[in-house]
């Protein structure tokens, strides 16, 4: 195993020894250190919030930025708990899901049996879906390959042990993923990050032009009778709340631009449910011609 993966795994496993309350407190400390250091993560967070919430006052944007890095710190600290790796730990995590909102949407999609595409985002801690969804459906998830091979293998082992079928975002993995959805099964994907330019279409996210994946539109057209839902895991007192929500109707459009815009509008509505829990440190507008992150 490479040294970087070994160090990362040591930290993750150490975090896994904590309970949820302690992990979240430790995560808040991580957030405080990020703010004090004024590192790239904090600077990008502030920039994204300035771009996406121009109607907020400077004080409101500053408060949201501080809260955001605190919540991201909690997400990091919860990783060791999320990657339980044993049946006992996954059942413990399942007990930390204190509420499920709009579960009737999920149940109906499964009962219809025409396929279910779940779109999630970097909001709250999506890792907790592994303690809920795999016990209820034949779930396949597409993941972006990590830069640290050892860490990737540990991640795959942890998530896979929950029952999720994990496939990499390469040609073979995408082929399997598409086939799974065409077979009217359940697929999970996280499409709220910027794709390569050749794989994206320009569509606004919070009013800012952003490269948006074409893949979702293509996937929907492969199984037009299937159901698409948004799902995210919100951090709440004492645990997590899983929220299902209907997508914007336009996402089913045959027109790529209409579909991409509808997906982003749906994501915006989810983010506004808990804007401080969205991971604003991602350079979502990196390829925007305005050069929003210049100097960061």
Average of per-residue pLDDT across 108-126: 96
Helix %, strand %, coil % of the chain (to 5): 50, 20, 30
The candidate with the shortest Cα–Cα distance to 71, out of 244, 274, 272, is: 274
Average pLDDT score over residue span 281-286: 96
Q: 73-113: per-residue pLDDT in tens?
A: 999 999 888 876 566 776 778 889 999 999 999 999 999 99
Nearest Cα residue to 196 out of 179, 209, 215, 178? 215
Residue 147 predicted with pLDDT over 90 = no
Residue 154 has pLDDT above 80, yes or no: no
| Range of lowest pLDDT (83-87, 180-184, 189-193, 225-229) | 83-87
Contact 149, 5 (CB under 8 A): yes
Tell me whether residue 87 is exposed, middle or buried, using C-beta atoms within 10 angstroms of its C-beta: 0 to 12, 13 to 18, 19 or more. Answer: exposed
On the question of pLDDT at 148 being above 90, the answer is: no
Query: How distant, in Å, are the alpha carbons of 191, 265, 268, 270 from that of 195?
Result: 9, 18, 18, 21
Q: Quote the CA–CA distance of 65 and 132 in Å, as a whole number.
A: 30
DSSP 8-state symbol, 278: B
Indicate the range of 37-46, 144-153, 167-176, 183-192 predicted with least confidence. Answer: 144-153
3-state secondary structure of 227: strand
pLDDT at residue 146 above 80?
no
Q: What is the mean pLDDT of the chain?
A: 91
pTM: 0.92
């Amino acid at each position: 195993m490479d040294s970087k993966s070994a160090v990362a795994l040591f930290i993750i496993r150490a975090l896994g020894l904590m309970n949820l309350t302690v992990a979240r407190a430790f995560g808040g400390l991580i957030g405080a250190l990020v703010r004090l250091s004024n590192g790239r993560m904090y600077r990008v967070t502030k920039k994204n919030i300035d771009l996406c919430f121009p109607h907020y006052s400077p004080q409101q944007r500053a408060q949201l930025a501080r809260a955001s890095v605190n919540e991201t710190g909690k997400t990091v600290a919860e990783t060791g708990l999320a990657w339980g790796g044993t049946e006992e730990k996954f059942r413990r995590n399942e007990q930390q899901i204190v509420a499920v909102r709009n579960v009737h949407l999920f149940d109906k999609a499964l009962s219809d049996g025409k396929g279910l595409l779940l779109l999630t985002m970097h909001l709250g801690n999506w890792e907790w879906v592994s303690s809920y969804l795999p016990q209820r459906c034949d779930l396949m998830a597409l993941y972006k390959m990590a830069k640290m091979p050892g860490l990737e293998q540990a991640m795959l082992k942890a998530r896979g042990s929950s029952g999720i079928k994990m496939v990499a975002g390469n040609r073979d993995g995408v082929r399997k993923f598409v086939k799974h959805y065409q077979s009217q099964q359940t697929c999970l994907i996280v499409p709220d990050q910027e794709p390569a330019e050749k794989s994206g279409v320009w569509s606004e996210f919070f009013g800012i032009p952003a490269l948006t994946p074409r893949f979702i539109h293509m996937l929907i057209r492969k199984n037009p009778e299937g159901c698409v839902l948004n799902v995210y895991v919100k951090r709440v007192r004492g645990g997590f709340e899983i929220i299902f929500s209907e997508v914007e109707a336009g996402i089913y459009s045959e027109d790529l631009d209409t579909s991409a815009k509808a997906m982003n509008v749906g994501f915006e509505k989810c983010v506004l449910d808990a804007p401080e829990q969205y991971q604003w440190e991602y350079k979502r507008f990196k390829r925007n011609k305005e050069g929003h992150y210049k100097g960061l």
